[in-house]
């Protein structure tokens, strides 16, 4: 009367094909959402540190609004809440052309953008104020100072927490299955439906997520070493 | 990197070697020692199992457990027991069962040959087939009309599987639960929602304005509902079946059916003579 494992369900029938499809959808969804999150994060993270109060206020409201509502709610918001605001014809077109995927991408990207923003703000605020003042003294405009001096330094400082955030984003992409996006977790459930072998299917999904996340962490580790600013942070060995 | 690979391998070995750890105790023994029968059931599948307007967790299947299965299990363990209910959905119900989190799945689970490889089923307690729920006046009248249309189904259900395999020309959208699928139908994200006919009637009856909706099409699948148990637990299965059998024989089952599906029930769905004959055939009548 014990559970009998049957690992062959993972490569017999269509399982392998489904896992691959799920993996691709997860990667596609996460990559697009990540790009959106990074753009929104840099933008609002930078705006939260500028002098001009209305811009700061705008960025702060974005961050606080989007990071303090559960991701699941955002999924429903973009899928069920937004389309009724559009004309019927546009709605139908969207629903026939993967509205689920795009709603999931927006939910994930905008939500993680708000979280990424805080990471980037902390990077910016860790840079001595004098650097910004020195840039202005050199004749740069505020925009130039951010683009050429502040952000390039801040982005190098925040690689470890940004990696963390990126891994979270990848794993959170599974929430999109609630709005019918056939990503990796969805496909592992599908295998379970067909074979009634839940533990095997979940194990496969778990290992794929693990390998994905480890790969990302490794790549980001390289990026961190490659772009570390010599002298700014003592990464390894005794400080000079 | 070598270290990482070692960790992954170790984890794989631990997971694969998990077999013996999952060995299960006798369910009746467990019920006897805890005084509790834990069932996995639904919260949004009227009239089988749902939360009603008074915030009570009720339904036809829950009544079957309370009035037929419970006395029989009590007899088998020789003491009175309590029923504890937990939420279970199509994707979670078999894992809940195999991990001992629940002892009996009593919701709307179809008895299929594939599932029988992993779990045991009780006698069939309801018989239905898949149909479509559409807005009144929809162009979809049967399964022959779904080509190119957006069809919602429940993730992990037998209906989704049939649509995917036999009607690939339809655009299948799968949702984890009934409320999300119905929401998608109501808003036009999908053109029809397919599920077991009786569940669609239940949904229609509970909708804000039932007359806006139609259940259409002939049964395109056969869906005999059974209660699922861990595989190979003959004593527990015998107790559950005895309860249902007693219900069929004494007529108690048909009283409960009438309460939920009779003319004054939650979802009027009179039992056809064929279905009655099918159910009674199981107990040799």
Find chain A residues with C-beta within 8 A of B1's C-beta. 218
pLDDT at residue B194 in the model:
96
Q: Smallest Cα–Cα separation from A94: which of B93, B63, B190?
A: B190
Cβ–Cβ gap A180/B175 under 8 Å: yes
Contact (Cβ atoms closer than 8 angstroms) between residue B22 and residue A1: no
Size of interface A-B (CB pairs under 8 A): 104
Q: Which domain holds residue A110?
A: 27-181
B188 touches chain A (CB under 8 A): yes
pLDDT tier for residue A81 given thresholds of 50, 70 and 90? very high
Q: Which of B91, B175, B184 sits opposite A192 (nearest CB)?
A: B91
Judge if B135 and B193 occupy the same domain. yes
- Residue A204 pLDDT > 80, yes or no? yes
Going by C-beta distance under 8 Å and a sequence separation of 6 or more, which residues neighbour residue B72? B239, B240, B242, B243, B246
- Residue B249 pLDDT > 80, yes or no? yes
Tell me if B247 is assigned to some domain. yes
Judge if B116 and B159 occupy the same domain. no
Q: Smallest Cα–Cα separation from A104: which of A70, A65, A78?
A: A78
Give residue A124's Cα distance to chain centre: 20
Contact (Cβ atoms closer than 8 angstroms) between residue A129 and residue A50: no
B135 touches chain A (CB under 8 A): no
pLDDT digits (tens, 9 = 90+) for B80-124: 999 999 999 887 898 899 889 999 999 999 999 989 988 999 999
Q: Which of A73, A199, A205 to mutate to test the interface with B (most CBs of B within 10 A)?
A: A199
A187 touches chain B (CB under 8 A): no
Judge if B114 and B29 occupy the same domain. yes
pLDDT at residue B130 in the model:
93
Tell me if B8 is assigned to some domain. no
Final residue in a domain of this structure, among B191, B221, B251: B221
Final residue in a domain of this structure, among B179, B202, B221: B221
Tell me if A65 is assigned to some domain. yes
Contact (Cβ atoms closer than 8 angstroms) between residue A14 and residue A187: no
Find chain A residues with C-beta within 8 A of B8's C-beta. 207, 210-211, 214
Q: Which of A5, A178, A199 sits opposite B176 (nearest CB)?
A: A178
The 3-class secondary structure across B66-90, one letter per residue, is HHHHHHHHHHHHCCCCEEEEEECCH
Contact (Cβ atoms closer than 8 angstroms) between residue B73 and residue B37: yes
Judge if B121 and B231 occupy the same domain. yes
Tell me if B79 is assigned to some domain. yes
pLDDT at residue B247 in the model:
95
B184 touches chain A (CB under 8 A): yes
Mean pLDDT along residues B220-228: 93
Question: Which stretches of chain B are DSSP H helices?
Answer: 2-16, 27-34, 60-64, 70-77, 90-98, 113-116, 158-166, 178-187, 197-206, 234-250, 252-261, 273-281
A209 touches chain B (CB under 8 A): no
What does the alpha-carbon distance between residue B103 and residue B88 come to, in Å, rounded to a whole number?
12
Phi/psi class of residue B188: alpha, beta or left (left: φ > 0; alpha: ψ in -120 to 50)? left
Q: Which residue of chain B is at minimal alpha-carbon distance from A221?
A: B1
Q: How far is A35 from chain B (nearest CA, A)?
A: 26
Contact (Cβ atoms closer than 8 angstroms) between residue B199 and residue B192: no
Residues 226-265, chain B: which have Cβ within 8 Å of A?
230-233
Tell me if A235 is assigned to some domain. no
Q: Are strands B192-196 and B150-154 parallel, antiparallel or unpaired?
A: parallel
Tell me if B19 is assigned to some domain. no
Size of chain A in residues: 240
pTM for this structure? 0.77
Tell me if A175 is assigned to some domain. yes
Cβ–Cβ gap A192/B94 under 8 Å: yes
- Residue A141 pLDDT > 90, yes or no? yes
- Residue B60 pLDDT > 60, yes or no? yes
Q: Which domain holds residue B197?
A: 130-221
β partners of residue A168? none
- Residue A237 pLDDT > 70, yes or no? no
- Domains contained in chain A, number: 1
| CA count, 13 A, side-chain hemisphere, A113 | 27
What does the alpha-carbon distance between residue B202 and residue B41 come to, in Å, rounded to a whole number?
16
Q: How far is A130 from chain B (nearest CA, A)?
A: 41
ipTM over 0.85: no
Q: How far is A195 from chain B (nearest CA, A)?
A: 6
Q: Which two tokens stand for residue B133?
A: 């729920």
Cβ–Cβ gap A1/B91 under 8 Å: no
Q: Smallest Cα–Cα separation from B220: which of B275, B144, B140?
A: B144
Strand order through the sheet with B104-105:
B82-87, B36-41, B104-105, B228-230, B119-121
Mean pLDDT along residues B146-151: 94
pLDDT at residue B91 in the model:
79
A178-212 burial: b if 16+ Cβ within 10 Å, else e: bbbbbbbbbbbbbbbbbbbbbbbbbbbbeebbeeb
Contact (Cβ atoms closer than 8 angstroms) between residue B132 and residue B217: yes
- Bigger pLDDT: A143 or B5? A143
Tell me if B9 is assigned to some domain. no
Judge if B82 and B176 occupy the same domain. no
Mean pLDDT along residues B232-254: 95
Tell me if A90 is assigned to some domain. yes
Tell me if A147 is assigned to some domain. yes
Q: Find where tokens 């929430």 sit.
A: A175
- Bigger pLDDT: A44 or A238? A44
Q: Smallest Cα–Cα separation from A63: which of A121, A113, A120?
A: A113
pLDDT at residue B274 in the model:
84
Collapse the DSSP code of B5 into the 3-class scheme (helix H, G, I; strand E, B; otherwise coil) and give the result. helix
Q: Which two tokens stand for residue B169?
A: 């020309």
Residues 16-55, chain B: which have Cβ within 8 Å of A?
16, 18-20, 22-24, 26
Tell me if B156 is assigned to some domain. yes
Judge if B119 and B189 occupy the same domain. no
Residue A95, domain CATH: 1.10.3720.10
Tell me if A165 is assigned to some domain. yes
Judge if B108 and B158 occupy the same domain. no
Find chain B residues with C-beta within 8 A of A182's C-beta. 174
pLDDT digits (tens, 9 = 90+) for A12-66: 878 889 999 999 999 999 999 999 999 999 999 999 999 899 999 999 999 999 9
Angle between helices B27-34 and B234-250 (to 10 degrees): 80
């Amino acid at each position: 009367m014990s559970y009998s494992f049957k690992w062959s369900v993972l490569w017999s029938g269509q399982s392998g094909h489904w896992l691959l499809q799920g993996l691709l959808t997860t990667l596609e969804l996460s990559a697009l959402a990540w790009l959106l999150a990074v753009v929104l994060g840099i933008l609002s993270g930078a705006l939260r540190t500028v002098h001009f109060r209305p811009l700061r206020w705008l960025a702060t409201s974005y961050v606080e609004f989007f990071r303090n509502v559960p991701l699941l709610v955002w999924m429903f918001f973009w899928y069920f809440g937004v389309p009724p605001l559009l004309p019927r014809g546009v709605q139908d077109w969207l629903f026939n052309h993967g509205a689920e995927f795009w709603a999931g991408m927006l939910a994930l990207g905008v939500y993680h953008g708000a979280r990424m923003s805080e990471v980037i703000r902390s990077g910016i605020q860790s840079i001595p104020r004098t650097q910004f003042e020195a840039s202005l003294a050199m004749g740069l405009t505020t925009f130039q100072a951010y683009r050429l001096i502040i952000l390039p330094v801040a982005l190098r400082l925040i690689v470890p927490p940004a990696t963390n955030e990126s891994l979270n984003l990848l794993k959170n992409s599974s929430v999109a299955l609630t709005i019918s996006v056939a990503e990796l977790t969805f496909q592992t459930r599908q295998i379970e439906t067909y074979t009634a072998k839940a533990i095997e299917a979940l194990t496969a999904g778990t290992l794929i997520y693990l390998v994905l996340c480890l790969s990302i962490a490794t790549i980001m580790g390289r990026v961190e070493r490659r772009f570390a600013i010599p002298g700014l942070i003592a990464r390894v060995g005794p400080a000079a | 990197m070598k270290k990482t690979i070692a960790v992954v391998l170790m984890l794989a070995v631990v997971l694969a070697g998990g077999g013996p750890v999952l060995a299960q105790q006798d369910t009746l023994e467990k019920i006897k020692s805890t005084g509790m029968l834990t069932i996995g059931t639904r919260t949004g599948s009227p009239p089988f199992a749902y939360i009603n307007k008074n915030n009570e967790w009720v339904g036809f299947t829950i009544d079957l457990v309370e009035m037929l299965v419970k006395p029989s299990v009590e007899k088998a363990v020789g003491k009175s027991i309590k029923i504890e209910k937990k939420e279970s959905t199509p994707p979670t119900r078999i894992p809940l069962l195999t991990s001992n989190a629940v002892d009996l799945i009593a919701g709307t689970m179809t008895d299929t040959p594939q599932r029988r490889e992993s779990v045991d089923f009780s006698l069939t307690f309801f018989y239905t087939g898949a149909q479509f729920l559409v807005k009144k006046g929809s162009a979809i009248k049967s399964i022959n009309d779904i080509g190119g249309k957006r069809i919602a189904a429940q993730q992990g259900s037998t209906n989704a599987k049939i649509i995917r395999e036999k009607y690939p020309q339809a655009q299948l959208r799968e949702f984890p639960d009934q409320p999300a699928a119905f929401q998608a139908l109501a808003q036009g994200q999908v053109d029809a929602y397919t599920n077991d006919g009786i569940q669609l009637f239940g949904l229609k009856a509970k909708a804000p304005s039932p007359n806006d909706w139609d259940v259409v099409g002939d049964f395109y699948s056969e869906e005999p509902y059974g209660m699922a148990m861990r595989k190979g637990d003959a004593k527990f299965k015998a107790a559950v079946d005895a309860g249902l059998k007693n219900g069929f024989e004494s007529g108690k089952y048909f009283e409960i059916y009438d309460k939920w599906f009779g003319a004054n029930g939650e979802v009027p769905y009179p039992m056809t003579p064929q279905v009655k004959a099918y159910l009674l055939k199981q107990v040799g009548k």
